[in-house]
């Protein structure tokens, strides 16, 4: 289902970009994905936060960097129904709370964390805003994937927090792949980093955006000042590439095959 008005708890529901130049980022991603990222009536009181729109529907967020030394990056948010309880569970299972639960106007409540390996993620407890209104279509995000140095430990952590169940897969392009599931539905992926990933790359959550043509997306990103990091390559569900924008924020694109 592409249009969404709600998310089952434990499902990634939103992604946003922290960037040093939100106007230029709007142009880069607008040309790449067809987004409009207008300044909103609430942007000033929310630290400059904006929502990217595709066909009038919210698909992602964008905000200025908030502190000195903060790297440009995409972040993943998981929908939850009790942000306080799950925040405590994060800390009890070796994670760290970066920002305590806070109300975001009448939209919902937000909290920020790192897992035991340092991968950053957020939780979102919805009120008037559930998350992305469009997913899995060209220009919208379709998958969220943890790149981890210890998949077994990551399964224990995220399974304890979100109740995820796991299905391990063999794959040609990596040492192994794990599907994370809620109520039997695939909601995220988990990839153990190996020698194919430079040692300086820390554990992180990666966002995949759907495109109609992977090679064309790479060329457009390069024309806008970004570059390709890995790929294109074929995987079970489509053709992917890992890229970064002009400021170094890493993301992936995927052309989904018909079966996916």
CATH number at residue 108: 3.10.180.10
Sheet harboring 177-182: ordered strands across?
165-169, 177-182, 185-192, 141-148, 204-210, 250-256, 238-244, 227-235
> Per-residue pLDDT averaged across 198-215, rounded?
91
Alpha carbons 241 and 144: distance in angstroms, whole number: 14
Number of domains, the chain: 1
State the maximum Cα–Cα separation within the chain, in Å, rounded to a whole number. 48
At 107, list the tokens: 């939209």
pLDDT surpassing 60 at residue 216: yes
Buried b / exposed e over 81-113, threshold 16 CB at 10 Å, is eebeebbeebeeeebeeeeebeebeebbbbbbb
Alpha carbons 84 and 207: distance in angstroms, whole number: 25
Q: Which helix (H) or strand (E) holds 218?
A: helix 214-223
> Per-residue pLDDT averaged across 31-38, rounded?
96
Residue 197 confidence (pLDDT): 64
Alpha carbons 227 and 163: distance in angstroms, whole number: 36
> Per-residue pLDDT averaged across 184-207, rounded?
85
Alpha carbons 239 and 228: distance in angstroms, whole number: 14
> Per-residue pLDDT averaged across 47-75, rounded?
94
pLDDT surpassing 90 at residue 257: no
Cis peptide before 232 (omega within 30 of 0): yes
Residue 170 confidence (pLDDT): 75
> Per-residue pLDDT averaged across 31-36, rounded?
97
Question: What SS3 string covers 23-87?
Answer: HHHHHHHHHHHCCECCCCCCCHHHCCCEEEEECCEEEEEEEECCCCCCCCEEEEEEECCCHHHHH
> Per-residue pLDDT averaged across 156-181, rounded?
88
**pLDDT range class, residue 200, cuts 50, 70, 90:** confident
Report whether 121 contacts 130 (CB < 8 A).
no
At 196, list the tokens: 């194919």
Residue 222 confidence (pLDDT): 97
> Per-residue pLDDT averaged across 222-231, rounded?
94
> Per-residue pLDDT averaged across 171-181, rounded?
79
Q: Write out pLDDT tens, residues 114-163.
A: 999 999 999 999 999 999 999 999 999 999 999 999 999 999 999 999 99
In this structure, are strands 177-182 and 165-169 parallel, antiparallel, or unpaired? antiparallel
Residue 173 confidence (pLDDT): 59
pTM of this prediction?
0.95
Residue 175 confidence (pLDDT): 67
Q: Considering only CA atoms, which of 159, 145, 117, 131 is closest in space to residue 240? A: 145
Domain that holds residue 153: 1-260
Q: Write out pLDDT tens, residues 73-116.
A: 999 999 999 999 999 999 999 999 999 999 998 999 999 999 99
Residue 1 confidence (pLDDT): 53
pLDDT surpassing 60 at residue 44: yes
Residue 123 confidence (pLDDT): 98
Neighbouring residues of 107: CB distance < 8 A, sequence distance ≥ 6 = 126, 127, 128, 129
């Amino acid at each position: 289902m592409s249009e969404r008005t709600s998310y089952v708890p434990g499902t990634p529901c939103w992604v946003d970009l922290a960037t040093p130049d939100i106007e230029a980022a709007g142009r880069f991603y607008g040309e790449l994905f067809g987004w409009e990222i207008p300044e909103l009536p609430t942007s000033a009181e929310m630290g400059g936060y904006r929502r990217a729109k595709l066909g009038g529907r919210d698909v992602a967020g964008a905000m200025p960097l908030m502190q000195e030394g903060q790297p440009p990056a995409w972040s993943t948010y998981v929908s939850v129904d009790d942000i306080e309880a799950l925040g405590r569970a994060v800390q009890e299972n070796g994670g760290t709370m970066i920002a305590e639960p806070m109300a975001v106007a009448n939209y919902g409540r937000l909290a920020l964390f790192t897992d035991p390996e340092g991968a950053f993620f957020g939780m979102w407890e919805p009120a008037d805003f559930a998350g992305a209104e469009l997913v899995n279509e060209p220009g919208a995000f379709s998958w969220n994937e943890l790149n981890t140095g210890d998949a077994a430990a990551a399964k224990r952590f995220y399974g304890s927090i979100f109740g995820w169940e796991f299905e391990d897969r063999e794959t040609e392009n990596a040492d192994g792949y794990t599907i994370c599931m809620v109520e039997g539905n695939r909601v995220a992926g988990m990839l153990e980093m190996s020698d194919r990933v430079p040692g300086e790359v820390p554990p992180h959550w990666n966002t995949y955006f759907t495109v109609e043509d992977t090679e064309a997306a790479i060329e457009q990103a390069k024309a806008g000042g970004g570059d390709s990091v890995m790929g294109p390559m074929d995987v079970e569900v489509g053709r992917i590439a890992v890229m970064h924008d002009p400021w170094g924020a890493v993301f992936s694109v995927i052309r989904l095959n018909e079966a996916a």
